Amino acid sequence: MNSNTKHSSNAIKNTSSSSLVFFTIVSLLLFSFVPHTVSDPRISEAGLYCGISKSPANANYIPSFIKEMETLSQLVTNHNWGTHFVNISAIPIYGFAQCFNDLSHTDCLLCYAASRTKLPRCLPSVSARIYLDGCFLRYDNYSFYSEGIDPLRDTVNCTSQRGTVVGEAERLRLEKSVGEVVDRVAMIAVSGGGFAVGEVEGVYAMAQCWNSVGSEGCRDCLRKGGKEVRRCLPKKEGRALNAGCYLRYSTEKFYHEKGASQGGKGFLRRGTIIAAVLAAAALLMISLSALYAAFTKLSKIKKESNNLSQISSSISKSSLNYKYETLEKATDYFNSSRKIGEGGAGSVYKGILPNGKVVAVKRLIFNNRQWVDEFFNEVNLISGIEHKNLVKLLGCSIEGPESLLVYEYIPKKSLDQFIFEKNKTQMLNWNQRFDIILGTAEGLAYLHGGSKIRIIHRDIKSSNVLLDENLIPKIADFGLARCFGADKTYLSTGIAGTLGYMAPEYLIRGQLTDKADVYSFGVLVLEIVCGRRNNVFREDSGSLLRTVWKLYRSNTLAEAVDSCLGDDFPATEASRVFHIGLLCAQASASLRPSMAEVVYMLSNSNGHVPTPNQPPFLNTGVLDSDSSITSYRTHNFVSNALNKVEVSYSSSESSSSGSSDRPSRSEKPESKLHV
């Protein structure tokens, strides 16, 4: 582990320890008030059971537990009991809480708050139950609500602060009274709503069934409890703690008469206790959250460190490895005059190796969360694939102060400089544009199904398509790429990409399939033919998708062709290419063709091309002609689409620093999105 990791680990440990010490001291101070109060919410612990099974270390379990406790707290506040379950982690959590019927609402809240501070001692167990003398709280990984008895976990508590009776006569009298009063309250509880209290010759008893247990379950539970609690004799007190009920006897009265007044000084003191215990409960939840966050952060740091170590070891032994010093000299120590491109992940430099070979060296800039993933993606995914329309990865360096990737050098730079620059040094004619569209389609088709693994690029756009000296397109920048298993219909993943090229199902629901690349390709096709960016908005016509769709509906698609071509293009073929682009950019992923089908349609001029449906977002205000993609408008639109999920974006640089394409005051550059 490197020094940064050690420092982070120590900081986390210190923070967690400080939180625990602080919480422990405050809790002890707060609970020190409880025994001295007049009110008796009966928060003494009668029994605690922690399950054997533990939640996995990588499960999102603690946040689920906290959510469950918060929801139960609200239910208890409103109804004095409640059931609820959450299923946002790998393991579902079913929860139950109930106060005993003789407690006032104030004492009920106090008892639940106390149980909530005690039960987390069982974490990370996936099941636990706690019996206080005034309430019950349980969570488990299955629906247990109707259980009356549990042969493995039902128990009896014969601990008695009142001691044991001595003398044969006293013992026989106690046995008789306990038997009578226990049977009586059990019978009344079964027929009277699940609760009863009673007294026989100085012996007091309470029977409480949980509200989620039916009458049969209540009867079975109290019948078993009545037998078990007799085992405590000749103790002066005993409790049966079963899955569906609580049964207690004592020689001292411990319950409240229902409806008894609880005002005045006692109420004020109870208010103080409630405030104290609720504060302790809140502190515990905060501590749990802090511990979980610390554990998660430490786990991620260790994982990144391990990944880096594994990558470094495997690369250093392979033919992909380049010495950092060699690449540093090859780029003239990353001289700005050698810079040929720049993007969100770093700058690209032209380099000349000692053997005279010209290469492109990508100098990576990573943040702590994603740099290992993105580096591993580029090295692992494209080092093993080779296709004429994919940029070839030659190697990398990970031993120096920064990570470097080495690619084949593409002298003509990126496609966006050819189709969007206002002062074009080399204008692309129609045949060249068509060949670029077809070549890009073939490269994507290979990624999706032509290699040993299926790869989704996730960021197809004009600046990620490079052109060689023969204008052959090569797809580049695999930092966001994802492997896609043959047994999966889609991947659920964080949203990343460039606004204007992202498929609606991916942008809104995070569902990633190869059809997301198809959508991006459809947008790219329209850009190549029209010579205009899709995510640039003009006051006269709105978005490119809107413009092309309107012209398609009016059967005037020729008007959308780049004016630089004049009339020097085949109208029928251009119309066919427009149709294919609109097919790929349809709102429904299921209606979009596969890239293999796209290649077939482009290669066979007489083949059938289906009629496209409307692209997405055309009826939303964000694509209106009077709107622009400002930080506020884009944030608002995406937030609404994602049901208030917050997003942020920053302007994306061109893959070449020499572009002279500058948006006018009514145009905005493309925006990079990470959620």
Architecture of domain 20-144+262-291 in CATH? 2-Layer Sandwich (3.30)
pLDDT of residue 570: 94
Task: State whether residue 528 is helix, strand or coil.
Answer: helix
Q: Please name the helix (run of DSSP H) or strand (run of DSSP E) that holds residue 394, with its range, or none.
A: strand 393-397
pLDDT of residue 229: 96
pLDDT of residue 89: 72
pLDDT of residue 451: 72
CATH ID of 168-250, from 3.40.50.620, 3.30.430.20, 3.20.20.60, 3.40.1390.10: 3.30.430.20
CA-based torsion, 104, 105, 108, 109: positive or negative: negative
pLDDT of residue 468: 92
Determine the Cα–Cα distance for residues 60 and 64; give it in Å rounded to an integer: 7
Determine the Cα–Cα distance for residues 203 and 185; give it in Å rounded to an integer: 12
CA-based torsion, 518, 523, 527, 529: positive or negative: positive
Low-confidence ranges of the chain (pLDDT < 50): 1-38, 259-270, 272, 315, 317, 367-369, 487, 619-671, 673-675
Determine the Cα–Cα distance for residues 260 and 49; give it in Å rounded to an integer: 33
Q: What is the dihedral of CA 608, 611, 616, 622, to 10 degrees?
A: 110
Domain with CATH 1.10.510.10 in the chain: 410-654+667-674
pLDDT of residue 244: 97
pLDDT of residue 56: 74
Domain with CATH 3.30.430.20 in the chain: 20-144+262-291, 168-250
pLDDT of residue 668: 39
pLDDT of residue 91: 86
Considering the chain, what is the average pLDDT of its residues? Answer: 78
Domain with CATH 3.30.200.20 in the chain: 318-409
CATH 3.30.470.20 given to domain 410-654+667-674 = no
CATH topology of domain 318-409: Phosphorylase Kinase; domain 1 (3.30.200)
* Residues designated as active site: 459
* Nearest CA-CA partner of 237 in 205, 199, 208: 205
Q: Is the pTM of this model over 0.85?
A: no
Residue 411 tokens read as 């002298």
* Nearest CA-CA partner of 549 in 500, 614, 503: 614
pLDDT of residue 195: 97
